């Protein structure tokens, strides 16, 4: 079966009888079929397009060079004429642009650092303390963490710096009766593992209320399970 269009390599591989059916067209070889128009030669158009693209790129480079040269010349002229105001304006624009660029980079790094040193640490500790109930306690842990000099720091309940370590913070949450219903190891008694002595009734009674309603709901559900 004859192909309609052949490359030069394909054409050279044909026999002389087969070559007679083809005609060179734009660097390729086209099968001669009566009534079928020749494929237009677009090689010249492609070459012209490449030339235009090259000219456009060169023009853009020249324009940029001209703009840079004009700015430099204006600064030099202002310096010679003692036009301090124009010179200061030019430098102020450059500094403002650079400042915005650096500020964006700094904010991006701060976000990444906070995620690494606060969010991840809080998630790890919350999971260790409460397992599947970690989402209930995680916001409270995050409020006690901050970043200082590239390190995770524990703050007090008012947000002030403290000497607490992560281990100290873990012990504090384990001993806090507000979170006893969700803390692993405290669920059996609801009072930090005292064998059920002093277990608070499911109805609430004198049980202290949490600032987080989710913790109160979890406490009541676990207490009801214990009574069943």
Question: What pTM did the predictor assign?
Answer: 0.40
pLDDT class of 223 with cuts at 50, 70, 90: low
Closest CA to 202 of 180, 221, 181: 221
- Of the two residues 31 and 121, the one the predictor is more confident about is 121
- Of the two residues 210 and 22, the one the predictor is more confident about is 22
**Residues 6 or more apart in contact with residue 228 via CB below 8 angstroms:** none
184-206 pLDDT per residue, tens? 876 544 444 444 434 444 444 44
| Cβ-contact 179, 173 below 8 angstroms | yes
- Of the two residues 159 and 95, the one the predictor is more confident about is 159
62-76 pLDDT per residue, tens? 878 877 777 777 777
73-92 pLDDT per residue, tens? 777 776 677 666 776 777 78
Closest CA to 178 of 224, 129, 226: 129
Sheet of strand 28-31: strand arrangement: 5-6, 28-31, 22-25
Give the pLDDT confidence score for residue 110 in this predicted structure: 75
Whether the pLDDT of residue 14 is over 80: the answer is yes
Whether the pLDDT of residue 15 is over 60: the answer is yes
Token pair listed for 167: 């281990």
**Three-state DSSP class for 37?**
coil
107-155 pLDDT per residue, tens? 777 777 778 888 889 899 999 999 999 999 999 999 999 988 778 899 9
Distance CA 130, CA 134 (A): 5
- Tell me what percent of the chain is helix, strand and coil, each rounded to the nearest 5: 60, 10, 30
35-39, 77-81, 93-97: segment of lowest average pLDDT = 35-39
CA distances from 48 to 27, 39, 42, 92 (A): 17, 19, 10, 45
**Residues 6 or more apart in contact with residue 5 via CB below 8 angstroms:** 28, 29, 30, 31, 39
- Of the two residues 161 and 35, the one the predictor is more confident about is 161
**Three-state DSSP class for 155?**
strand
Supply angle C-alpha 40, 46, 49, rounded to 5: 135
| Cβ-contact 39, 25 below 8 angstroms | yes
């Amino acid at each position: 079966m004859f192909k309609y269009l052949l490359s030069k390599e394909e054409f050279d591989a044909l026999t002389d009888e087969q070559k007679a059916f083809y005609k060179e067209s734009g660097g390729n070889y086209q099968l001669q079929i009566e009534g079928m128009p020749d494929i237009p030669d677009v090689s010249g158009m492609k070459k012209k397009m490449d030339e235009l693209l090259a000219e456009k790129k060169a023009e853009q480079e020249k324009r940029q060079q001209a703009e840079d040269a004009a700015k430099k010349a204006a600064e030099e002229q202002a310096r010679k004429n003692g036009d301090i105001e124009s010179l200061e304006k030019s430098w102020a624009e450059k500094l403002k642009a650079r400042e915005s660029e650096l500020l964006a980079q700094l904010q991006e790094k701060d976000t990444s650092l906070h995620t690494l040193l606060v969010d991840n640490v809080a998630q790890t500790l919350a999971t260790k303390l409460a397992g599947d109930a970690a989402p209930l306690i995680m916001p409270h842990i995050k409020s006690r963490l901050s970043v200082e000099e590239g390190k995770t720091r524990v703050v007090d309940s008012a947000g002030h710096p403290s000497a607490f370590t992560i281990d100290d913070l873990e012990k504090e949450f384990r001993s806090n009766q507000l979170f006893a219903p969700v803390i692993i190891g405290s669920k059996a008694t609801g009072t930090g593992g005292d064998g059920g002595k002093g277990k608070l009734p499911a109805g609430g009674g004198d049980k202290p209320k949490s600032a987080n309603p989710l913790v109160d709901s979890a406490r009541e559900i676990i207490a009801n399970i214990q009574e069943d």
